[in-house]
Amino acid sequence: MLRSTLLTIDYIAIIYFIIINITYIFLNFIAFFSIRKNQLKEEVLDIEKRFSSEFYKPLSIIVPAYNEQETITENLNSILKLEYPEFEIIVVNDGSTDNTMEKLIEDFNLTTFNKNYSEDIETKNIKNIYKSTSHPELFIIDKENGGKGDALNAGVNLSDYPLVCNIDADSIIDSKALLSIVVPFVNDWRVVAAGGTVRIANSSKIQDGKVKEVKLSNKYLVRMQVIEYLRAFLFGRVGWAGINSLLIISGAFGVFKKKHLIKAGGYNTNTVGEDMELVLRLNRKMNKNNRKYKIVFLPEPVCWTQVPEKLSSLKSQRKRWHQGLGESLLYNFEMFFNPNYGTSGLIAFPFYFFIELLGPIIEIFGYSAIILTILLEFDGNNVVLLFLVSSILLGVLLSLTSLLFEEMTFRKYKKTKDVIILSFYAILENFGYKQLNSIWRFIGLYKLITRNEEWGYQERSSFNVEE
């Protein structure tokens, strides 16, 4: 009885590993061709040279901030240096309990200001609105704490322009990234939202608020995340976008047409995954209104972020992400296997539900069952072991594929030594890191069921800034 139960779990887990790896290899290939096409487009249409004229759409940048006193000035200075013809920056202090607001008032010469606050989306109470006397394009909302979604909604209410861009207060945006991310809105009227890529900046050289040199961190945990970001968050998402099934735009860097964002009801304040939830809801609303629309993901406009360097921070981040994933899917469950949503409803949503959301259950039980089967030396343990090796090798193959595609497209890591180190980590992540991730995601799933919410504070080390 025990033997047959264990073997059943073994095989379910192994089939799951094979499905997830093959899907991602497939997505990586779609992404590769999609990126090459995009790069060709950028080259022949000379996007860098364009938009020096008046054909841009003005943009409101919304920066939600909660307890960011250590980094807010440095990061805002970086955002103020972005290259874009006309934009405003709205920082939303979401009831910080530290000195974020005092720091902003002091460093940016703020005075209270009577700017139009539209109340298109309901939010927590606004305490005050400020404008900077040193930077006329900078506005600050000081409001009661309501969570990241609520802070973003307050920013949308205050914004003046037809496009709104959300940027995390602790991220660095490439100086031309705004220009690139707005191009699809001009080139194709169907585009309602566009997401940019988030990359890892730990140890990279930062100068004048810009990433001057991409360096590979020497920390084990960061290197693992570099591989993971390439595989899942870069090529994975470009791949989904390539088959018109993108279900998430990162909260760290995305642009939306304001009117559609408001029509969809703004960000959901009852989830920690407000970024994914919004994209899913946009899909639903657009579909219901029978409007032709496109949600695009651009691999080139890059937002740089600091990833956790400590296990405790990473654990908390992953739990929160998984909880957010679950909430977003459940709020929009109408899309599940719904042919009205095309490949998003028939392929992407079920994949996210069964493989991404419920995956940790299969992984935890699977790993335990495989170890027990081998330790107890049941009949057939040989086959299980071979299956396990195959699925691990498939994982290695997937990570190496992502690395090769990165080399063939963006080449952010220039040193040969870095490429070799990353190849080594593509193998190493299969032994320990992936399993730890499964445990954290499993806890996130538990939190989803117990509805435990938090703003998601992440302890960060400062960027590697050079004066």
Partner 1 sequence: MTIYLKMLIYILSFLSLSLFLALIIFHLRLKYYENKEQLYKEKYSSIIESYIDSEINLEKTISYFENENNYKILKNIFKPYINKYENEKHDRLKILINKIGLNNYLYEKLKSNNKKKTLKAASFLGKLQDRNALNKLEKLLRSNDRLKVITSAWAISEIGDLSYLKPVIKTLLNKSEMTYEAITELLVNFGKNICDKLIDYLNKDLKEDDYLVNEFETDEYKILSVFIDIFGFYRYEKSLKVLEKLLIENTNEEVTIHIFKALVKIGQPVNVNLKQFLQSESWVIRSQSAKYIGVIGAEEHTQTLSYLLYDENWWVGYYAAQSLWKMDKTELMKNIIKHDNPGAEMCSYVLAKNNYVFNLEGS
List, edge to edge, every strand of the sheet that includes 253-257.
Answer: 110-112, 126-132, 138-143, 87-94, 59-65, 163-167, 253-257, 191-200, 294-305, 172-173
The beta strand positions in 136-190, using DSSP E, are 138-143, 163-167, 172-173
- What minimum distance in Å lies between the beta carbon of 226 and partner 1? 15
Interface with partner 1, residue 312, by CB under 8 A = no
Candidates 47, 404, 421, 439; binder of partner 1 (CB under 8 A) is 404
Interface with partner 1, residue 187, by CB under 8 A = yes
Stretch that binds partner 1, among 199-207, 271-279, 412-420, 433-441 (CB under 8 A): 412-420
Radius of gyration of the chain (CA): 22
- What minimum distance in Å lies between the beta carbon of 24 and partner 1? 14
Cβ 158 vs Cβ 90: under 8 Å: yes
Interface with partner 1, residue 37, by CB under 8 A = yes
Residue positions counted in the chain: 467
- What minimum distance in Å lies between the beta carbon of 210 and partner 1? 20
Interface with partner 1, residue 144, by CB under 8 A = no
Q: How many residues belong to the site for partner 1 (CB under 8 A)?
A: 45
Q: Which long-range contacts (CB under 8 A, 24 or more apart) does 379-386 make?
A: 379/3, 380/3, 380/7, 384/7, 384/10, 384/11, 384/14
Candidates 361, 383, 428, 436; binder of partner 1 (CB under 8 A) is 383
Interface with partner 1, residue 401, by CB under 8 A = yes
CB atoms within 10 A of CB 372: 17
Which pair of structure tokens corresponds to residue 305?
């972020």
Candidates 419, 428, 439, 443; binder of partner 1 (CB under 8 A) is 419
194 by Cβ neighbours in 10 Å (0-12 / 13-18 / 19+) ranks as: buried
Q: Please name which of 300, 333, 301, 307 lies closest in space to residue 321, comparing C-alpha atoms.
A: 307
Three-class secondary structure of residue 133 per DSSP: coil
Instruction: Pick between residue 243 and residue 404 the one whose CB is nearest to partner 1.
Output: 404
Candidates 66, 387, 410, 463; binder of partner 1 (CB under 8 A) is 387
Interface with partner 1, residue 43, by CB under 8 A = yes
Instruction: Pick between residue 13 and residue 169 the one whose CB is nearest to partner 1.
Output: 13
Residues found near partner 1 in the complex (CB under 8 A): 37, 40-41, 43-46, 49-50, 53-55, 57, 113-116, 118, 185-190, 382-383, 386-387, 389-390, 393-394, 396-397, 400-401, 403-404, 407-408, 411, 416, 419-420, 423
